Amino acid sequence: MTASSVHPAQVLLGAQGGVARLPVCDHYSGVEARMRKSLQLQAELAAEFGHCVFDVTLDCEDGAPVGQEREHAALVAALARGAAPQARVAARVHTVDHPAFANDMATIAGEAGDRLCHIMVPKVESVDDVLRAEKALLDAGAAHLPLHVLIESPAAVHRAFEIAAHPRVQSLSFGLMDFVSAHGGAIPASAMGSVGQFTHPLVVRAKLEIAAACHAHGKVPSHCVVTEFNDTAAMQAAATRAASEFGYTRMWSIHPGQIRPILAAFAPAQDEIDQAARIVTAAAAADWAPISAGGVLHDRASYRYFWQVLERAHQTGRTLPETVRPWFID
């Protein structure tokens, strides 16, 4: 086998090869009309970019009308079953201590588990909550499904490394507004805004703890929402900071207008993509031995970094140079 025929991920990622490469945007909707529109938009952008560039998470926690939780879970299961074959559809269920949780899992994971990419569990406080959710998955016959969890309290942040270490957990998300309100007024409301959430020390610390826990255990850190959904500049700025300063590789969207700004913020710049393509193709030609490029030494450590730049470019719908496109053909 020639060097060029060996896939870079096989050569470079090693133990990191098991890390999930998820779309950088996770879009939430809970009202029936919006859930249907979200799935339609996902299909349209998949056609535009050639592959799925964001997940659609159908929401039971905030989407189900009080008293109609069973009906809403049945609707979510039906929408997931009816989604296009290439769709990436997830569901957020109620908290593990909510009366509707067991039915959510039995209905959604049990009836549509083969069409889901994951289940999101909100307000996870400890590994015990993960174990309870995992048992519900197994009882529903959905042993293959990963769990994504929401970290929303100071105690949960304290346990983030333990939670991230659980093999069923694929991603940790930060629940900003619940985290702020859990402090009983000790954190001002401004810390829930698109700017204040990046400056208040307790919020910054929580974000960094969650990102660090994910990277320590090969999981995906997913950044919180920006509630100013009509302010594209605020959305773009927040997403850029989450990606470039806080170590997040994924972010929530709560409005269709936020999806493209998230994709743009998490995408590498074109000059980074071009540089990465040159270095990785030269490395493959050298059978992955060290090379000099522009007077700079590169070896497998930097090859790994530049390969991940190319992966992120692909995830965010960027056009890849011809030399590396064959590696990204499904």
Does the residue 13 lie in any domain?
no
| 304/188 same-domain check | no
| 247/138 same-domain check | yes
| 215/90 same-domain check | yes
Does the residue 7 lie in any domain?
no
pLDDT the model gives residue 14: 67
| 181/168 same-domain check | yes
- The C-alpha atoms of residue 261 and residue 268 are separated, in whole angstroms, by 13
Does the residue 147 lie in any domain?
yes
pLDDT the model gives residue 4: 52
| 93/163 same-domain check | yes
Q: Considering its fold, how many domains does the chain have in total?
A: 2
pLDDT the model gives residue 34: 97
Which residues fall within 8 angstroms of residue 239, CB to CB, at 6 or more apart?
223, 226, 251, 261, 262, 264, 265, 266
Of 222, 245, 266, the residue at which a domain comes to its end is 266
What is the extent of the structural domain holding 163?
25-266
* Amino acid type, 224: C
Which residues fall within 8 angstroms of residue 289, CB to CB, at 6 or more apart?
283
DSSP helix/strand/coil, 151: strand
**pTM: predicted TM-score of the whole model, two decimal places:** 0.92
The CATH number covering residue 173 comes to: 3.20.20.60
Cβ contact 42:259 at 8 Å: no
| 68/129 same-domain check | yes
Does the residue 3 lie in any domain?
no
Does the residue 160 lie in any domain?
yes
pLDDT the model gives residue 183: 97
| 301/258 same-domain check | no
| 210/286 same-domain check | no
- From first to last of the 330 residues of the chain, give the pLDDT tens digit: 334 567 898 888 764 555 668 999 999 999 999 999 999 999 999 999 989 999 999 999 999 999 999 999 999 999 999 999 889 999 999 999 999 999 999 999 999 999 999 999 999 999 999 999 999 999 999 999 999 999 999 999 999 999 999 999 999 999 999 999 999 999 999 999 999 999 999 999 999 999 999 999 999 999 999 989 888 899 999 999 999 999 999 999 999 999 999 999 999 999 999 999 999 999 999 999 999 988 999 999 999 999 999 999 999 999 999 999 999 886
Does the residue 19 lie in any domain?
no
| 241/157 same-domain check | yes
Q: What size, in residues, is the chain? A: 330
| 227/291 same-domain check | no
| 313/189 same-domain check | no
Does the residue 11 lie in any domain?
no
